Amino acid sequence: MLKYLAKRGITYVVMIFLTTSAGYFLAVSSLKPALLEQERIPRPTPEQVANSMRLKGLDPDLNAWERYVQWLTGVVTRWDWGRSPNGAFINAEFGDRVWISTRLFLASIILTLIIGVALGVYSAARQYKFQDRVITSYSYLAYIVPAPIAYFLVQLGAININETVGNRIFFVTGISTPGMEAGWPQIVDMAAHYAVPTVAITLVGWGAYQIAQRQYLLDNVNADFVRTARAKGLTRNQAIARHALRVSFIPVAQSIAFTIPAIFAGGFFAEKIFAWPGVGSWSIDAISLQDVNAATATLAYGSVIFALGAILADFATTLVDPRVRVQ
């Protein structure tokens, strides 16, 4: 198993290198930060711009290959991912951003999974009954409503609660209030900031898992092996719980592993709306600011997360499904 994972790991490292390099060439040939600099008032001379860019390692006079070699040498030898046109160091900013994204999404991903899968099982066991209809209709609604609108609605709800109570219980934007004293007040402040985005992302997210888990379980509820289990003397519900559930979880486990990276790297709506400056919004900003190094770094991050997700998917599948275990 370890050997297998190591093999997969090496494959993914090669893939990450290739996508990142391709991304760098695309960025370096289409993003021209020097042009933006020229729009400044007072307008700098082209020599000034080129000079300032050269100092930040973004020399516009070098060709794409030369810049790639320069950039790659920095990454490989010094783990230096370069600088932005505004002079910021990618490494420093990247760390902050990843940490913010992780904090924003981690709790909601876990909640989304647990609630989604649990509701899927619950609704499958009560197929076409009232509870199933309510839960599944909600999930489809969550699918249809665009995420930003759903986030706004949750924000409005939180504001409503604040107004009703007459006290600011929830913060609808931001990460924390600066200058809180350490200890209890800081924890309360953190919870007040976390609550709204976590609830919003969870409410929107679980629908997909609920629908998938319900569907896969229903596919297996009438499977021959469930009938065999009942013929052994298990009640229907016992047979489903012991035999159908694990089989139906195999495809869900795979999809989970693959959606996690998508949420991490692509949650820019949530980051923008709740004003948590994470990786997702950074990648969009990087492109509009013609920031070659930041754009490449976010792309590399996305690839790494995706590879981790894929390995996680392999791992999860082998864990629940003996048929794919490698000898």
**What are the residues binding other proteins (CB under 8 A)?**
7, 223-225, 227-236, 242-243, 246-247, 250, 320-323
CA distance 282 to 81: 15
Which residue's CB is nearer to other proteins, number 121 or number 265? 121
CA 308 to chain CA mean position, Å: 12
Question: Computed from CA positions of residues 190, 196, 199, 201, in that sequence, does the dihedral angle turn out positive or negative?
Answer: negative
SS3 content of the chain, % helix, strand, coil (to 5): 80, 0, 20
Q: Which residue from 174, 164, 167 is spatially nearest to 274, judged by alpha carbons? A: 174
Q: What whole-number distance in Å separates Cα of residue 159 and Cα of residue 169?
A: 9
Q: How far is the CB of 130 from other proteins (least distance, A)?
A: 17
CB of 6 to other proteins, least distance (A): 13
**Tokens 């391709």 belong to residue:** 22
Tracing tokens 């992780």 back to the chain, one arrives at 102
Least CB distance to other proteins at residue 52 (A): 46
Cα 244 to Cα 220: distance, rounded to the nearest angstrom: 5
Nearer to other proteins, 107 or 234 (CB): 234
User: Which CB atom, from 54 or from 246, has the smaller least distance to other proteins?
Assistant: 246
> Cβ of residue 212: shortest distance to other proteins, in angstroms?
18
DSSP string, 26-67: HHHHH--HHHHHTTSSSPPPHHHHHHHHHHTT--TTS-HHHH
- If the CB atoms of residues 150 and 307 are measured against other proteins, the closer one turns out to be 307
CB 114, min distance to other proteins, A:
21
Single out the residue of 144, 142, 136 nearest to residue 119, CA to CA: 136
Closest distance of CB 322 from other proteins, Å: 5
Select 7 or 168, whichever has its Cβ closest to other proteins: 7
For residues 87 and 61, the answer to whether their CB atoms sit within 8 Å is no
Nearer to other proteins, 189 or 321 (CB): 321
Smallest distance from the beta carbon of 312 to other proteins, in angstroms? Answer: 19
Residue 316 · residue 324 · CB < 8 Å: no
Per-residue tokens: 326: 């490698």
Residue 240 to residue 223: CA distance in whole angstroms: 10
Is the CB of 234 or the CB of 312 nearer to other proteins?
Answer: 234
Provide, rounded to whole angstroms, the least separation between the CB of residue 147 and other proteins: 35
Of 79 and 128, CB closest to other proteins: 128
Distance spanning both ends of the chain, measured CA to CA? 8
